[in-house]
Amino acid sequence: LNRSGIETIILERSSREHVLSRIRAGVLEWGTVEVLREAGVGARMEAEGFVHDGTWLSDADRLVHIDFHALTGKRVMIYGQTEVTHDLYEAQDALGTRIIHGVGEVTIHDLDGAQAAVDYTLNGTRHRLRCAYVAGCDGFHGVSRRTIPAGKRREFERVYPFGWLGILSKTPPVQDELIYASSPHGFALASMRNANLVRCYVQVPLTDRVEDWPDERFWAEFRRRLPAEAAARLVTGPAIEKSIAPLRSFVSEPLRWGRLFLVGDAAHIVPPTGAKGLNLAVSDVFYLHQALIDALKHGKEAGIDGYSQRALARIWQAMRFSWQMTTMLHRFDDEDSFAAQMRRAALDHLALSETARRELAENYVGLPF
């Protein structure tokens, strides 16, 4: 928006240091890569990111390869969300964007008037911003979604009875591409940030705490959920970050209320199984930035009028894929023997059917914007 001559102001609750210390997603769809390039923030990603042509799915010792590039002509980029945020900060600083950290008590008003108002507290003083539009990028717990009257919102949610315990460790990956591992002991994901930094996960009950999982217990459990050939290559080391993330699927409709637009986690949450959270936020941004430029620079409002419907169509497809991947790979506590057989049958189908592998690959690399 700034590069198009549209002034923006960013309100942030946390400090910059806190924002840049948070460990988040690391798989970028190719559409996300192209949006970052278009925004002029792709140079470091190109230099330091890792392009992956595919991924692996496993059940016990069986491995099935999904070759994204052969099946779709596209790839994914391994580049951490923290690094993307760092690049965006640098670009905004270079443009002179006002980024106000440490704000609290945010309220949004006058969404049906000539200008919206955003009130906030900074250092004990109350402030008000007047603006043409408000982009609510403040996450699941933010104020933006709650500003839309409860009677006008429709919310859809599926809460899963487990979470992901993840660690970051300065150790080499067990494979050159990600492994999504289903096992009788639960799910595990072998991911990475670079050649000597891994991000690994195991499925855990929601009642577990990080303190219940010393490094030795984590690595032992992670190892037994991997296929034997990958487990044999596992190098363990101390965790430099460890956290548990609950899993849920959530969508709130509509994404527009007057001069307010919901973007990213403010509007939708997906399980991390399909690597869609950050990428869905980018597709929202892609649709909205085009619409705002058309409205503010050219007086054309068709884009902002259609933003909610356009974004939701892609959101629900990503929601379906993430739900499918989650149910296909995770063990549920109350499941019967039939469920385990269905997981094996799903992997059998992927192994035997190029059409099934292509459908998974198309969704993983990202549907068109």
Task: Tell me the catalytic residues.
Answer: 52, 180, 272, 276, 364
Place of tokens 């549209």: 6
Report the length, in residues, of the chain.
Answer: 369
Hey, what are 22's tokens? 């948070």
Beta strands in the chain (DSSP E): 9-12, 27-28, 50-52, 54-59, 62-67, 76-78, 98-101, 104-109, 116-122, 125-131, 134-136, 154-169, 179-182, 188-194, 197-205, 239-253, 256-257, 260-262, 268-269
Query: Of 290, 289, 280, 270, whose CA–CA distance to 312 is shortest?
Result: 280
Hey, what are 196's tokens? 């000597």
Q: What angle do CA 210, 215, 220 make, to 5 degrees?
A: 110
| DSSP three-state, residue 220 | helix
